[in-house]
Amino acid sequence: MRTFRRRLTALAALATALVAVAPPAAANAGDHPGRPAGYHRVGYFTQWGIYGRAFPVKKLDTSGAASRLTHVNYAFGNVSEDGRCYVDGGPGEGDAWADYQRPVPADESVDGVADTWGEPLNGNFGQLAKLKAAHPGLQVLISLGGWSWSTYFSNAARTDSSRKAFVASCIDLYLKGNLPVLDGGSGGPGAADGVFDGIDLDWEWPNWPGDSDNVIRPEDRENFTKLLAEFRRQLDAYGRKARKHYALTAFLPANPAAMDAGYEGREIFRYLDFATVQGYDFHGAWDAVTNQQSALRVPAGAPDSPDFSAEVAIDGWIARGAPRGKLVLGIPYYGRGWTGVTGGGNGLFQPAAGPAPATFEAGYEDYRRLKTLTGEGFTVHRDLRGGHAWLFDGTTFWTYDDPAVVLQKTWYIRRTGLAGAMMWSLDGDDDNATLTRTIAVGLGTP
């Protein structure tokens, strides 16, 4: 055990040093001798990150993240009650201003050129187009749904006609780029043509509880497969005209019960290029005791049995027929926290009073902030066998992934023959893209 501990500590230190000095990867650095197509490195870019987190698309370029990613998933696109892709501009919901109306100033622009009010493609969409021009190997996917916008997926997937109409609307809006015209003139036919290279389905969850207002039906399970088949059919038909392959991916749950309730196992992978698997939110301040939110393996002494872990999630999908080469492990760029922790020790598996105070949401904090807490009285603790870390100051507890944990996960990805890593979300990393660089180093693409 001591030898294992010393080896991991030394390699983690080495990885930290490597990510600090590694040169930007070439556009095709994803090619890897052991995997002809390379490891997928999929990062979610959040529409709202440009505000409080001050994370414009440009930071993907200046931090070095973009040159180490294969895919950027834009979060999120909405689904209407009548089952269509649409741009939601409702207060507290969508933000068409951020998507493609906002004139991005020169200091936030990928190419240093400011937008002009009323151009067809401003905002994040315009900047993603510029990012792709600077990184020709990078693909951008529109991610549909998410926790808050999975409300009406069931309606969209319910019948053959609804599936056809839904898929056609998504292709029209995002791949053909026919955006609604907004005040001032942004949008219009073909305005976003070429920005998106495919579609990611983030339905949380078919035939399983998600957000409180979600429509859920028992037939969601088979309808999800049928929806994927319709997406694949229409994407291929459109791709033949455009002489391009459009990717189809999906975000899948870690909970084995949700896997069985909502998915037809092996069948769904007939249509997917790959799937990203939830590797986080296993525990949080909704629990009465502190715990891990993203451990690689279930820790010894865990109070829940059975419990969740990244390994449990991956093994669950493999047992249900998923090919290893199409599974991408999700890695969090944030932590979950509790305060009012009692019981002493290192704080793990101890009673807590509630969620820890945080910058944007109680009980949820970005890695870039958590990494600074060691200078504020917190101590880092590790479970090397379980593959997780936490911070504790005697009262407040944070479970999170630091570079050492991320490095362990990349070894796991390589050893078990998985397809790569996914990150939620890129705006949680620091300005040097330390976690993204660690993933690149760990997967052999510095």
Is residue 348 one of the residues assigned to a domain?
Answer: no
Is residue 362 one of the residues assigned to a domain?
no
Rounded-to-integer distance, Cα 445 and Cα 297, Å? 25
Three-class secondary structure assignment of the chain: CHHHHHHHHHHHHHHHHHHHHCCCCCCCCCCECCECCCCEEEEEEEHHHHCCCCCCCHHHHHCCCHHHCCEEEEEEEEECCCCCEECCCCCCCCCHHHHHHCCCCHHHCCCCCCCCCCCCCCHHHHHHHHHHHHCCCCEEEEEEECCCCCCCHHHHHCCHHHHHHHHHHHHHHHHCCCECCCCCCCCECCCCCCCCCEEEEECCCCCCCCCCCCCCCCCHHHHHHHHHHHHHHHHHHHHHHHCCCCEEEEEECCCHHHHHHHCCHHHHHHCCCEEEECCCCCCCCCCCECCCCCCCCCCCCCCCCCCCCHHHHHHHHHHCCCCHHHEEEEEECEEEEEECCCCCCCCCCCECCEECCCCCECCEEEHHHHCCHHHHCCEEEEECCCCEEEEECCCCEEEECCHHHHHHHHHHHHHCCCCEEEEECHHHCCCCCHHHHHHHHHCCCC
Reading the block at residue 47, the tokens are 């529409």
Domain count, the chain: 1
Please give the C-alpha separations between residue 172 and each of 151, 166, 188, 191, in angstroms, as whole numbers.
21, 10, 12, 11
What percent of the chain has pLDDT above 70? 90
Range of the domain at 425: 2-333+404-442
Q: Is residue 346 part of a domain?
A: no
Report yes or no on whether pTM surpasses 0.85: yes
Measuring CA to CA, which residue among 383, 205, 212, 376 is closest to residue 293? 383
Give pLDDT, residue 445.
77
Report angle CA 409, 202, 219 to the nearest 5 degrees: 120
Token duo for residue 27: 């556009």
Q: Is residue 281 part of a domain?
A: yes
- Within the chain, which residues score under 50 in pLDDT? 1, 4, 18-36
Q: Tell me if 112 is assigned to some domain.
A: yes
The catalytic site residues sit at: 204
Q: Is residue 155 in some structural domain?
A: yes
Residue 140 lies in a domain: yes
* CATH code: domain of residue 189: 3.20.20.80
**pLDDT at site 88:** 74
Distance CA 341, CA 356 (A): 10
For residue 443, CA distances in Å to 225, 412, 422 come to 31, 10, 12
Whole-angstrom distance between the N-terminal and C-terminal Cα of the chain?
Answer: 29
Residue 373 lies in a domain: no
